[in-house]
């Protein structure tokens, strides 16, 4: 039997294995998207959808037909412990609001004891993304409540941390804007193409789904429709994730470049459109810059670097785990455009992509690569 046949046979055996899976925060928007993706996954078995509400999963998310009931956090922790003691390898997604993952993970660790080290955990919130507690304090305005755990989490942007994620047990999935910011600038930073003394300008627009499930004045449709406005223009918290990502390229002592990111709310539900103006360190042609991006994303099934002259759009990525990258050079400024679905590649899909690697599954398992197109 050839090596290729053996690898295919091994992959088939892996895909037949079942991983019991729990989702904490099941009523939220990202959890609803994650549950939709889990329904398509060949090996992940939903054992528990954890919510403080007694509302059923399908009632909270009418687009789903899981037939699943919600359970309490106490019930989930007991069931996860039983699965571990039975020799299974369970997985947990924390799809909770920012700030709530720490308490949930602390309670789960206390329940499981030493068994917690055998659990596969992916956090979709911001609680464990920043390794440095001081940076967390600057970004979020308070001390981290579980700082000792920060170094034990691997940052979950697969395109730049694939090997580390594959060997990890605990992963912090990046934020939606942070994902776009890094896909746009890290390849050029690693290639030493950019000037770190001049401002890096980022302009991002996000859909209303990024505001969560609870209605707010800014997400009310009559206000949102045909409207757009900036927010957090004194500094956005996802800049901290980009700073962290850039440190290996520039060094912790020299400091990262001055970042200037302004976020906007757009009149659509899904998607992020990011426009970047990045100062070049020396004169380069667009073809030379593009080659760095193509090399950076070689082997990444969900990131496409467009041909020069093409601009990415939202419709092509909405509903998919894909990100599109377009670029051009004008004088000494590199323009980079990125589009992605904030609910999928910027959220639930990214978390699932990480878990696939952690479990030794194909990175693409259960994840859509095609956008919705015209509809």
Residue 336 host element (H or E):
strand 333-340
* Catalytic member of 71, 102, 176, 276: 176
Q: What one-character-per-residue DSSP string does 154-167 give?
A: EE--HHHHHHHHHT
Q: What is the SS3 assignment for 58?
A: helix
DSSP string computed for 100-148: SHHHHHHHHHHHHGGGGGG-EEEE-SSTTS-S-HHHHHHHHSS--TTGG
| Cα 106 off chain centre by | 22
70-71/44-50 β-pairing: parallel
Q: Is 176 a catalytic residue?
A: yes
φ, ψ at 305 (rounded to 5°): -95, 115
Q: How far apart are CA 170 and CA 165, in angstroms?
A: 8
DSSP per-residue letters across 270-307: S-EEEEEEEEBSS---HHHHHHHHHHHTTT-TTEEEPP
- Which ranges of the chain would DSSP assign to H, the alpha helix? 3-16, 29-40, 57-60, 73-85, 101-112, 133-140, 158-166, 176-190, 221-224, 239-250, 286-296, 348-358
Positions marked catalytic: 176
């Amino acid at each position: 039997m050839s090596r290729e046949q053996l690898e295919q046979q091994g992959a088939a055996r892996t895909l037949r294995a079942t991983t019991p899976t729990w989702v904490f925060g099941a009523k939220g928007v990202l959890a609803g998207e994650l549950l939709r993706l889990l329904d398509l996954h060949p090996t992940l078995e939903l054992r528990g959808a954890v919510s403080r509400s007694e509302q059923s999963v399908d009632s909270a998310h009418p687009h789903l037909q899981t037939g699943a009931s919600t359970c309490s956090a106490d019930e989930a922790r007991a069931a996860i412990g039983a699965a571990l003691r039975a020799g299974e390898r369970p997985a947990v997604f924390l799809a909770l609001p920012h700030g709530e993952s720490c308490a949930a993970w602390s309670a789960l660790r206390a329940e499981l004891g030493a068994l917690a080290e055998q659990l596969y955990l992916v956090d979709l919130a911001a609680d464990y993304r920043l390794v440095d507690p001081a940076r967390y304090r600057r970004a979020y305005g308070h001390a981290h409540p579980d700082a000792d755990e920060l170094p034990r989490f691997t940052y979950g942007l697969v395109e730049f941390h694939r090997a580390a994620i594959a060997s990890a047990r605990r992963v912090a999935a990046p934020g939606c804007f942070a994902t776009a910011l890094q896909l746009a600038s890290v390849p050029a930073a690693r290639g030493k193409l950019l000037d770190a003394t001049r401002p890096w300008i980022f302009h991002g627009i996000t859909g209303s789904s990024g505001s969560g499930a609870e209605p707010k004045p800014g997400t009310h449709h009559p206000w949102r429709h045909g409207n757009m406005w900036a927010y957090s223009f004194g500094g956005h918290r996802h800049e901290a994730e980009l700073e962290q990502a850039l440190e290996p390229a520039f060094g912790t002592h020299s400091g990262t470049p001055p970042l200037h990111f302004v976020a906007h709310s757009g009149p659509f539900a899904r998607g992020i459109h990011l426009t970047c103006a990045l100062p070049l360190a020396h004169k380069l042609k667009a073809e030379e810059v593009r080659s760095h991006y193509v090399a950076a994303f070689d082997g990444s099934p969900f990131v496409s670097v467009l041909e020069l002259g093409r601009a990415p759009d939202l419709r092509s990525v909405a509903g998919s785990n894909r990100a599109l990258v377009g670029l051009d050079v004008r004088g000494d400024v590199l323009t980079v455009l990125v589009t992605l679905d904030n609910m999928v590649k910027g959220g639930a899909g990214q978390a699932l992509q990480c878990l696939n690697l952690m479990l030794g599954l194909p990175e693409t398992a259960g994840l859509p690569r095609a956008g919705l197109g015209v509809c």
